[in-house]
Amino acid sequence: MPTTEYPTKPDDQPELGVIKINHTVIAGIVRLAALEVKGVSGVGGGLVDGISELFSKREADSRGVKIIENSDGSYAIEIRLVVLYGAEIGRTSYDVQIAVRKQVMGMTGKEVSKVDVIIEGVRLPTAAGAGGQSEKADELWPEIPATD
């Protein structure tokens, strides 16, 4: 019985055709990988992304993520994050870089030359986003007198 030897990389099979991945797909992978990292509250969503989305045809999946395909076929990625208040920004950013690089390389088979992380903001944990904590603004700042 003859065995078929599969190429080690998808690019090693030019006789079958070309495989191309849309950058919005890569951006979706980046967003999902980043959101799985502890300390990340959101991706993108800043004022610049909101305004540029109004004037362009960018899809929601690419908001906060910029993908550049280098001449050697590798990806250079820029991601804008909102982190949770109290998260160590340096550690969270590093964890995002590792998670994004690993996930993009694993799913596409292409190298990732760099992952630039830009912190857009800090968000307080909410009941939905922080494991059931339900602190109200009055409970967070008890020394402020109530005006009701």
CA distances from 98 to 17, 21, 71 (A): 31, 21, 23
- Write down the pLDDT at residue 132: 44
- Write down the pLDDT at residue 44: 85
- Write down the pLDDT at residue 24: 93
- Write down the pLDDT at residue 48: 53
- Write down the pLDDT at residue 135: 47
The pLDDT tens digits along the chain (148 residues) read 555 555 556 556 667 788 889 999 999 999 999 999 999 999 986 555 455 555 555 444 467 999 999 999 999 999 999 999 999 999 999 999 999 999 999 999 999 999 999 999 999 877 554 444 444 544 555 555 556 5
- Write down the pLDDT at residue 20: 87
Q: What is the pTM of this model?
A: 0.68
Question: For every residue of the chain, which 3-state class applies, written as one string?
Answer: CCCCCCCCCHHHCHHHCCCCCCHHHHHHHHHHHHHCCCCEEEECCCHHHHHHHHHCCCCHHHCCEEEEECCCCCEEEEEEEEEECCCCHHHHHHHHHHHHHHHHHHHHCCCEEEEEEEEEEEECCCCCCCCCCCCCHHHHCCCCCCCC
- Write down the pLDDT at residue 3: 56
Task: Sketch out the chain's domains with CATH numbers.
Answer: 20-124 (3.30.70.1350)
